[in-house]
Chain A
Amino acid sequence: MTVRPERIVVVGASLAGLTAAHALRERGFAGALTLVGDEPHAPYDRPPLSKQVLRGLFSTDTTLPRHPDLAADFRLGTPATRLDLDARRVELGDGSRLPYDRLLIATGTRARPWPDREEAALAGVFTLRGRDDAQRLGAQLQAKPRRVVLVGGGFIGFEVASTCRDLDIPVTLLVRDAVPLAAALGPRLGGLIGEVAREKGVDLRLGAEIERMEAEAGRLTAVVLKDGERIEADCLVAAIGTLRNVEWLDGSELDADAKGLRCDGYCRALRADGGVAEGVFAAGDVARWPNPHDDGALVAVEHWGNARAQAAIAAANMLAGDASAMRRHDHLPDFWSQQFGLTIKLVGLTEGADALAVVHGSLEERRLVAAFGKAGRTVAAAAIDSARWLPAYKAAIRERAPFPPIEGAVDQPRIRVQEP
């Protein structure tokens, strides 16, 4: 792979794809650069879609800024349908073929559809992933539905619930687990957010699942829960996770399945036989790779920050020539969420954490930084309305510093370690 690339194709025209395109140009790549996107829209930002876009604040056009000299060929509204590794060629839905010297796969994910097809097709039933979804749901919310039911105990569900309350729309949030947001924040902080949601008027139901939907003339009228309760609602948002866009790689010999496209630590896509696919890289939600912050576990990190960081590394490595000049993708996972007026931020991975220590502020104030420990090591830190303190913990998490990371400091004489 030492020959300098002349043609680079990026499949996926969203945050990762556009970030890579910028990074390639910044690094001096002057050849032909093509971005392929299945949506008709130029690359746009998704985080505002569950928040301000639904609320109708500011413009709903979240098109990402592009450098005036990017000089990329955008093939929008045309999905990639096939990859031929031997011929080094991507085929598009319109029948055209794009040869490449380097390929970046950044096809991301899509919303997991509601499993019952008839119910999913009802008027008033939504998922939220793309710009068109946000436009449709936003129009529905502006028309003041009588009640919105949100399904799913993740951040999207909570953010949309928050937006509904801002618009003074009654909202029921159905969470299958006993504690909301526990997978990302642990039960203590997840529980705190649940408490805040209830105070803001969200009808939060834990351990709740839908048995079936009721409809009249093809329009949602109510949901019936597994415990038999019936809730009248004319709008439902299913925020029940994502599916990875890997189907177009079927038959390509890449190691791709529902868990994502497997890569090595240098963002190089791997073949099913474990070997590196020459010239093929991956970044963003679709990629899973051995994460150094998770003991080398093969995981995909579906966050905005990872998409950007991984795309930048992939771009650098696409131009690196041989492997010895490549950089490892060792981004520390991070994300934010805004809901109910709070800003929640996390760095690191809380999975498997066995201890929590509030190191600034307090749970009672709802303004705090909490460090997470796992077997005596610091693995993550979360901030609620305390973003300025959070970067200070990044180094401790990277190093897996002893937990709690600070003890006996002048301003923090006693840090109480508790269950997460």
Chain B
Amino acid sequence: MKVVVDLNRCQAYAQCIYAAPDHFALHGKEALVYDPSPGEAARGAIERAVHACPVRAITAYPDTDTKVGETR
């Protein structure tokens, strides 16, 4: 999986941390840190986090291969 969080949008509601505690964490009161590249096994947890976010700040897609100079 590949994950990115729009931290302009994030308001530290921390719902992602309940949904996927191994892949999202708060440092301090509001500083969200997250795993940008969780394994495929985490897919369910990550998708729950995406849907749980009240401000819809999380984007996640499965891995796609891109090698240097390659199409797609």
Contact indicator A304/B31 (Cβ below 8 Å): no
- Give chain B nearest CB distance to A56 CB in angstroms: 12
Q: A63-B36, A64-B2, A65-B2 are in contact. Are A338 and B8 (CB under 8 A)?
A: no
Which of A63, A70, A342, A385 contacts B2, CB < 8 Å?
A: A63
In which size bucket is the chain A interface?
A: 35 or more
Kindly list the 5 A-B residue pairs having the minimum CB-CB distance in the complex, ordered from nearest.
Answer: A341-B28, A58-B35, A59-B37, A65-B61, A61-B37
Verify if A179 is at the interface (C-beta below 8 Å from B): no
A57 vs B22: C-alpha distance in the bound complex, in angstroms? 11
A interface with B by C-beta (< 8 Å): 40, 42, 45, 47-48, 51-52, 57-59, 61-68, 70-78, 304-305, 308, 334-336, 338, 340-343, 345, 367, 385, 387-388
21 CB contacts below 8 A, A to B, read A52-B33, A57-B33, A58-B36, A64-B4, A65-B1, A66-B61, A68-B64, A70-B64, A71-B72, A73-B72, A74-B66, A74-B70, A74-B72, A76-B68, A77-B68, A78-B69, A305-B6, A305-B8, A343-B12, A343-B30, A385-B29
Contact indicator B31/A59 (Cβ below 8 Å): no
Contact indicator A387/B33 (Cβ below 8 Å): no
Cβ of B37: which chain A residues have Cβ within 8 Å of it? 58-59, 61-63
Contact indicator B68/A387 (Cβ below 8 Å): no
Number of B residues with CB within 8 Å of any CB on chain A: 33
A-B contact count (CB 8 A): 102
User: Per-position contact with A for B1-27: 1 when CB-CB < 8 Å, else 0?
Assistant: 111101110111000000000010001
A62 vs B2: C-alpha distance in the bound complex, in angstroms? 8
- Give chain A nearest CB distance to B68 CB in angstroms: 5
Residue of B nearest to A309 (CB): B8
A358 vs B33: C-alpha distance in the bound complex, in angstroms? 27
Contact indicator A62/B36 (Cβ below 8 Å): yes
Which of B7, B27, B34, B61 contacts A341, CB < 8 Å?
A: B27
Cβ of B6: which chain A residues have Cβ within 8 Å of it? 305, 308
Cβ of A45: which chain B residues have Cβ within 8 Å of it? 4, 36
Contact indicator A343/B61 (Cβ below 8 Å): no
A334 vs B8: C-alpha distance in the bound complex, in angstroms? 7
Contact indicator A385/B28 (Cβ below 8 Å): yes
Contact indicator A51/B2 (Cβ below 8 Å): no
Contact indicator A388/B72 (Cβ below 8 Å): no
Contact indicator A40/B11 (Cβ below 8 Å): no
Main secondary structure, interface of B, reads loop
Contact indicator A72/B72 (Cβ below 8 Å): yes
Which of B7, B29, B66 contacts A76, CB < 8 Å?
A: B66
Contact indicator A76/B12 (Cβ below 8 Å): no
Which of A75, A387, A388 contacts B69, CB < 8 Å?
A: A75
A70 vs B65: C-alpha distance in the bound complex, in angstroms? 12
Q: Within residues 24 to 69 of chain B, which ones have a CB less than 8 A from any CB in chain A? A: 27-31, 33-38, 59-62, 64, 66, 68-69
Contact indicator A77/B8 (Cβ below 8 Å): no
Which of A58, A66, A338 contacts B64, CB < 8 Å?
A: A66
Contact indicator B61/A387 (Cβ below 8 Å): no
Contact indicator B36/A61 (Cβ below 8 Å): yes
- Give chain B nearest CB distance to A355 CB in angstroms: 25
A70 vs B59: C-alpha distance in the bound complex, in angstroms? 15
Contact indicator B7/A58 (Cβ below 8 Å): no
Cβ of B71: which chain A residues have Cβ within 8 Å of it? 73-74
Which of B12, B23, B36 contacts A387, CB < 8 Å?
A: B12
Residue of B nearest to A64 (CB): B4
A367 vs B30: C-alpha distance in the bound complex, in angstroms? 11
A335 vs B3: C-alpha distance in the bound complex, in angstroms? 19
- Give chain B nearest CB distance to A380 CB in angstroms: 14
Contact indicator A58/B34 (Cβ below 8 Å): yes
Contact indicator B31/A40 (Cβ below 8 Å): no
A65 vs B37: C-alpha distance in the bound complex, in angstroms? 9
- Give chain A nearest CB distance to B33 CB in angstroms: 5
- Give chain B nearest CB distance to A254 CB in angstroms: 26
Which of A40, A47, A73, A74 contacts B7, CB < 8 Å?
A: A47
Cβ of B68: which chain A residues have Cβ within 8 Å of it? 40, 76-77
- Give chain A nearest CB distance to B26 CB in angstroms: 9
Residue from A51, A57, A75, A343 having most chain B Cβ neighbours under 10 A: A343
A343 vs B11: C-alpha distance in the bound complex, in angstroms? 10
- Give chain B nearest CB distance to A14 CB in angstroms: 12
Q: A48-B36, A68-B61 are in contact. Are A338 and B31 (CB under 8 A)?
A: yes
